[in-house]
Structures are given as C-alpha cells and as structure tokens.
Amino acid sequence: MEGIPVDVGLIYEGERIRKENMHVDLAGPKSFGAELVKLADMNKVKDRNVALVGPDIKDMQEGKAYPYGIFVEVAGSTLEEDLEGVFERRIHEFSNYIQGFMHLNSRDIIWCRVSKEAAKKGLSLRHVGAALIELFKANWPMIEKMQVGIYTDSEGVKKFREDARKIFQKRDDRLRGLKDDDVDVFYGCALCQSFAPQHLCTITPSRTSSCGSISWFEGRAAAKIDPKGPIFEIKKGELLDELRGEYFGPNKATYDKSNGTVKRVFLHSIFEHPHTSCGCFEAIGFYIPEVDGIGAVHRDHKGTTPFGIPFSTLAGQVGGGVQSDGFVGMAIEYLRSPKVFQADGGWNRIVWLPKALKERIGEDVPKEIRDKIATEEDAPDLEKLKAFLKEKNHPVAQKWKIEEKPVVEAPEIQMPVTGMPAGGISIIFKNAKIYAEKVIIKKEKGK
C-alpha cells in the first residue's frame, strides 16, 4: 500500500507477535482502550483524514503498554446505523492485515501489539489509520467518506472509552425486546475462522455473538449488504429441542462451516453440545462439578477463578473453535438474556461471578439469587465456594441436601462377614445411615 513502510495484505492475518518480538502493546491487559465505528453526517467527515492525539509508535518506550482508542467515522447515503457494529468488527480483521501489527478482541477489551521490525521500519499509527481507510473503502464502496481518530493519551482514551461504552450499552439494550421465538432467521458469522477454523457464531436475539460486537440486528444489516460475505442468514428450520435451543438450521450451518466436525449446537446449554468457542469471546461460562454449578469469568478479571486458574489459562483450554462439554465462550450480554443457560437451570445454576462482572450485570441478575452468587471476595477457591453456597442456601446447595440423603437408614443392620476364617463373625450397625454414590443389586448364581 502506497506510503506505508510495511506490507498490508490478507497473508498477515494470522501473524502472531510474541512477547520477545514486541515493540509495544496498545490497550490490552496492562493498559486500556476501545474501538468504535459511528455513522456521521456527510459534511462532518473529512474524507481519508487520520488524526492522532498522543504519542506515536516512535515516541513509545520499547516493552511498555500504552492506552489506545480508535474512532472510525463513516458516511454514505445508503449506510444504516445497524452496520456500525459490523464495520467495527472488521477493524480486527483489517488491522491484522498490517505486517507487524496484531489486533485481538473487540469493543473496550481490544489488545494490539506492534512488532520490533515494524517499529524499525517506521510504522506510524497514522499508517494504521490510512490502511484501515483503504481496506474499508475497497470492501464497501458504499462508504463514501471515512475518517479515523486515534488516541494514545491517557485522558483522551479514558474519555473516548467512556463515550464508547454508552454507545455499546445502547446497541445491546435495543435487543432486549426481541426473543429467538419472534424471528424466523438467525445469522451466522465465520469471521473468526482464520484463528478458529471450526468456529461459527450463531447470532440470535437471545444469544448475541461471542465477541459481543455483532447483534442479531447487525447480523441482519451485514447479510443484507453482502449476502455472500462472512455474515450470512441461517434459516432457523425445525425446532429440535426448545429448552436447549437446538434447531435444524444452526446445526446444518455449523456442520457445513466446520467441515463436518461439529454436528449439533445447543444455544442455551453448557453441556454436551454447547456453542463452539473461538478466542474473541468476552467471557467464559464454566461448569464446576464440585458444587454442580456454573461460573462465569470475563476477560478483564485479573484474579483467578475458583479452580485457581485465571481467564487466560481457561481461554487457552476452551478457545480455538472447539466444542467443550461444560465450557463455553460467550458475550457478557448473554448473561442478560432471558434464555441464559435455560436448559441447565438458568440463574439458579449460576454460583460464581467476578465482583466487577456481577456489578456490571447489576439489576439483570434476578433479585432472589443475587446475594447467593459468590464473587472472588466470598469464594476464592472451591472449598470456600462450597461453604458460601451452603450458608446462603443457594438452589444448587438445596439439591446437595436431597442427594445427601442416606440410601439406607435403619435402627439396626446385621451383616455376615465374608472371607473371614470360619467362626460365624457378623457386624452389627446400630442407628445405621448408609450413603453411597451408586447402589448395585446383584443376584448370585444358582440362588
């Protein structure tokens, strides 16, 4: 691309920049940032303009992490607001076309990295903005004007992230009135297949995309402007299991797009055939067998889960496009869905959330269960989690009580002892209560 000191193209999309080869990180776990695309009035957009507020790559100290905000404004007479999220998601893909520039995640959890080689060649953030403009305009000729604002100063990024979060909230709120049952079609997104080849997001009103960036409305807008593109319509087809959210259409689409690897998808269950998980998910749902409950952890949580491992370790095990029984990558918004894990007991099965995530979902956690869900402060490990749930009488703990009932309860049980030398020894249990995981009744041969 003219004027840019590194190559730009599809071949760099899967390029990973390891820590040893990193010049700087932008946003990510050691700093903060956000990205946003907004539709703007034609006369307010200065076409192809890139503005940078804050230090550029050459001014950044090697090995450090800096705040990063990227604000894209597009104008076009045929563009509609529902496309904002769709365009926004493509910042990820197009940024990764730039040699020596890596982009992960979306919205306010982005994480970018610049390689030492790219910094040495003189890559500037203005070049990143210019490359994005070229790629967006080449893909969508209906974008008549486009400008990019990049912030790297701490105060500017903080303010930008705050404003962006309000817009994300507004987009998510719009979905609340619509349910899976109200529509005939869902949408599929295969954008993450470059990293997770078996992964397909099925985007429904009650289960938004795993990255949280593409809602059902945005899927509809994307499929309308580019029906053969990576976001496409999926006819719901026959409802195979209402509770689990299993439909013929998403099963077939996932089977086709995963080259026959994934045959069934339960949209609203974490067990057996949960939704596949790419790597861009905002949060992970995980089954905790020790308490028979479900926990969820979001990307921003810095501590560990009750298993003693952090989000990053869990993400490494769950991601890559696979389907893992008992684990699922998901958007934070899914926790607000009326169908959240509905086949598994919904909120009555959720036992652990990081404090920040619980506060973020706020009023959408049903009042009657809110205080019964532990956070890292109440339960940093499994033992404390079990004690907490018991003390709060969480619905899962009520189930333990039933299961903890003895299988045999009797004032006296007498048993002959087999395998002992003759002598007629027997053992007598007084006020016996016998607990067992399994009872096997066998008929002896010939009796």
Report the candidate in 125, 156, 103 with the shortest Cα–Cα distance to residue 59: 125
To the nearest whole angstrom, how small is the minimum distance from the Cβ of residue 206 to ligand SF4?
Answer: 15
Compute how many other C-beta atoms are within 10 angstroms of the C-beta atom of residue 42.
11
Let me know: does 179 contact 205? Beta carbons within 8 Å.
yes
Q: Which amino acid is at 235?
A: K
Cα 225 to Cα 14: distance, rounded to the nearest angstrom = 26
The token pair at 192 is 């993450």
Q: Of 70-78, 206-214, 255-263, 353-361, which part binds ligand SF4 (CB under 6 A)?
A: 206-214
Q: Two tokens at 67?
A: 């705040």
CB of 325 to ligand SF4, least distance (A): 20
Could you tell me the smallest distance in angstroms from the CB atom of residue 234 to ligand SF4?
Answer: 13
Are 56 and 125 in contact, with CB atoms under 8 Å apart?
A: yes
Find the binder of ligand SF4 among 24, 234, 278, 328 (CB under 6 A): 278
Write each residue from 370 to 389 as x if it is in contact with ligand SF4 (CB under 6 A), else as -, in one continuous string. Answer: --------------------
From 70, 74, 280, 389, residue interacting with ligand SF4 (rule: CB under 6 A): 280
**Which range of residues in 11-19, 203-211, 245-253, 398-406 is near ligand SF4 by CB under 6 A?**
203-211
Residue from 34, 79, 175, 211 in contact with ligand SF4 (CB under 6 A): 211
Which two tokens mark 101?
């520039």
Q: Is 192 in the site for ligand SF4 (CB under 6 A)?
A: yes
Candidate segments 207-215, 255-263, 334-342, 415-423, binder of ligand SF4 by CB under 6 A: 207-215
Q: What share of the chain is helix, strand, coil (3-state, %, to 5)?
A: 35, 25, 40
Taking the complex as a whole, the smallest distance from the CB of residue 332 to ligand SF4 amounts, in Å, to: 13
Mark residues 170-189: x for contact with ligand SF4 by CB under 6 A, - for none.
-------------------x
Q: Please tell me the distance from the alpha carbon of residue 142 to that of residue 343, in angstroms, as a whole number.
A: 43
User: How is residue 26 written in tokens?
Assistant: 């932008």
Distance CA(318)–CA(41), nearest Å, equals 42
Residue whose CB is less far from ligand SF4, 205 or 346:
205
Least distance between ligand SF4 and beta carbon 438 (Å): 41
Q: Where are the beta strands (DSSP E) in 250-382?
A: 283-288, 293-298, 327-330, 350-352
Closest among 211, 343, 194, 212 to 265, alpha carbons compared: 343
- Given candidates 210, 254, 258, 276, which one binds ligand SF4 under the rule CB under 6 A? 210
Q: Residue 187: CB partners within 8 Å, gap ≥ 6?
A: 202, 203, 214, 216, 219, 220, 222, 223, 231, 232, 233, 234
Site string for ligand SF4, 132-151 (x = CB under 6 A): --------------------
Q: Which is nearer to ligand SF4, 60 or 189 (CB)?
A: 189
The answer to whether 277 touches 326, Cβ cutoff 8 Å, is no
**Does 213 interact with ligand SF4 (rule: CB under 6 A)?**
yes
Stretch that binds ligand SF4, among 1-9, 209-217, 232-240, 247-255 (CB under 6 A): 209-217
Nearer to ligand SF4, 211 or 385 (CB): 211
Q: Binding ligand SF4 by CB under 6 A: which of 31, 70, 89, 327?
A: 89
Q: Print the binding letters for residues 219-258 with ligand SF4: x by CB under 6 A, - otherwise.
A: ----------------------------------------
Torsion sign, CA atoms 213, 214, 217, 218 = positive
Q: Which long-range contacts (CB under 8 A, 24 or more apart) does 412-420 make?
A: none
| Shortest Å distance, C-beta 294 to ligand SF4 | 21
What contacts 360, CB < 8 A, 6 or more positions away? Answer: 298, 332
Q: Taking CB under 6 A as the rule, does residue 102 contact ligand SF4?
A: no
10 Å Cβ neighbour count for 379? 21
Is 65 a binding residue for ligand SF4 by CB under 6 A? The answer is no
Q: Is 209 in the site for ligand SF4 (CB under 6 A)?
A: yes
Binding site for ligand SF4 (CB under 6 A): 89, 189, 191-192, 201, 209-211, 213-214, 278, 280
